[in-house]
Amino acid sequence: MKLSSTLIALATVGLLSAPAFANQELAQKKNCMACHQVDKKVVGPSYKDVAAKYAKDKDAAKKLAEKIIKGGSGAWGAVPMPANAVTQAEADQLAKWVLSIK
């Protein structure tokens, strides 16, 4: 009985962590990681800094998804973020992932 409870707990943890890992894989696949890292500034801000900046904004996911698709400038300094070749669904997924980073 104890073994099955342990296996269920491990499977649950694996399922809960899989979406976050999948989103980082998507960020790598779409070349986001060339300019951003999870915990340090590269060309653009770290994902942790983005999540902190938008933490209290209820429309943050929508705003970030739009910036991912269209690009933008001025929010983090002089270096503009180019538009990205992602679908709306991918942009939504990436925005939600970025906002989940603590």
What CATH number is given to the structural domain containing 41?
Answer: 1.10.760.10
List C-alpha distances in Å: 33 to 18, 22, 71: 19, 14, 15
pLDDT number for residue 25 = 94
C-alpha distances in Å from residue 86, one per residue of 1, 22, 27: 46, 15, 10
The total of structural domains in the chain comes to: 1
Percentage with pLDDT > 70 across the chain: 78
Q: How confident is the model at residue 22 (pLDDT cuts 50, 70, 90)?
A: low
Dist CA 58 CA 92 (whole Å): 14
- List the one residue out of 5, 79, 14 whose CA is nearest residue 41: 79
Q: Convert the pLDDT of each residue in 65-87 to its tens digit.
A: 999 999 999 989 999 999 999 99
| Residue reference for tokens 């209820």 | 58
Domain that holds residue 70: 2-100
